[in-house]
Structure formats: C-alpha cells, structure tokens
Structure 1
Amino acid sequence: MANVVNATNEYRTSNGLNSLACDDELTAESQEWAETMRKADNGKGDHTFHDENTYAAENVAWGNGKRTPQWAADQWYNSPGHRANMLDPEASMIGVGWVEDSKKGTYAVQRFW
C-alpha cells in the first residue's frame, strides 16, 4: 500500500536515511501474510516464523475496525523494535500488505530487505 510506503519513507528521510524502493516480491509476500492472518480467525496479528525468509525484517499491526495507513506507520514508529526495522540503515527495499475485514479488523504487514 503506497501510503504506508510513503509514511515509512518520510520517517526515514526525516532521520537522515535513504528512501526505500517498493519491491514486488516483498509486497506479494506481505499481502499473502496479511491475508493469512485474517483467515486465521484468532483475533490478532502474528509474525511469520520460518527458515526460508526472503526478507530481513518484518512489522505486523492489527487493529479492530477500519484503520488508516498512517495509523499502522505510527504504531510501528512508536514501538522501539518496529521503529528499528523502519530505520535500519541497511534496508533498501520494502513491501506492504494490507487487508481490511469488517468483522475482524485491519491487518498490516511491512517487510524490509
């Protein structure tokens, strides 16, 4: 989702870092994971844990109801661990997944490489 990418890049550039390029593979994987979390029906967002990661860092956000991209970016930015992922000077690419479900809420995934 372009608005999450833009908000992330604004945070990065305001901290003296390069903007991230949006990567199709990271985006597809992020979207797939957002859909997986929605389908899990456990009422929360979870990180992926597997041995064949194609990304270096991951941020996940979940909230009741409809949320905005800025909400997700702010949630991550205001959490030390998530903020570190967003501001990693080694990162060069980003992918974002976003799913809204009227009953389960909003699921957001951000992956970096």
Structure 2
Amino acid sequence: QKTFLACLLVLSVSVTLSNASCYFQPIKPVKRGDEIIGKIYDMKGVPHEFNTHWKTEDCLDCSCYKSGISCCTSYAIPVNFDEEKCVRIFDNTACAYKVVEKADHSKKCEVYASVL
C-alpha cells in the first residue's frame, strides 16, 4: 500500500512538472493465461469498461482499451508571457491555467504561446 502511494505521488509530480502530457498503464494479467474481460482497474482501483472515456479530478482525459488505460492532460501550459510582471495560476475546477499580474490577480496578462 505504501509503495503504491509513493509511486502514485511520483507519477503525479512528474506529470505536473513535465511537458510530456500523456501516460499509458498497460494491462497486467494476474497469471499467464488469465483473460481480462470487460473492464480494467485504474491506478486508484476504479473499474472502467473497455472503450470508455472519462476525466479525472486531476484534469486528465483518460480512455480504456483492451491493452490498457491511456491518460493525457486536458489543459495547455502557458510558457511565453512576461514572467517578471505575471504569474500563471492553475484552476483545478476549470482544469486551466490563467496568467495574471503578480501585483493584481484581477488583471490578465497576454500569453503568446502554450504547450500541451
């Protein structure tokens, strides 16, 4: 259980800090010859039917396939803006970044480029 939580923490930090925005969790049968029928369990233990799609509370768009689960970030990260004057802030509810002035968060800043 502790190892699983540590791996989940490392994954969540690496997804947040990297520009690589997707990961794939392959199916791992219990023993040779086992056949996975109908659904796969994600890293949090939630079952998902094959060929379904969902959005996680971590703002990932996920899909379930017979080969495993694929998840990608559902938001762009602003990278080209005035970093001396402005700051990017992530809104978990909207699953989006906003770029605002450091001195006054009610004032938006112009963003010239973002990465997925």
TM-score after normalising by structure 1: 0.26
Larger Rg: 2
- Which has the higher relative contact order, 1 or 2, with Cα contacts under 8 A spaced 6 or more apart? 1
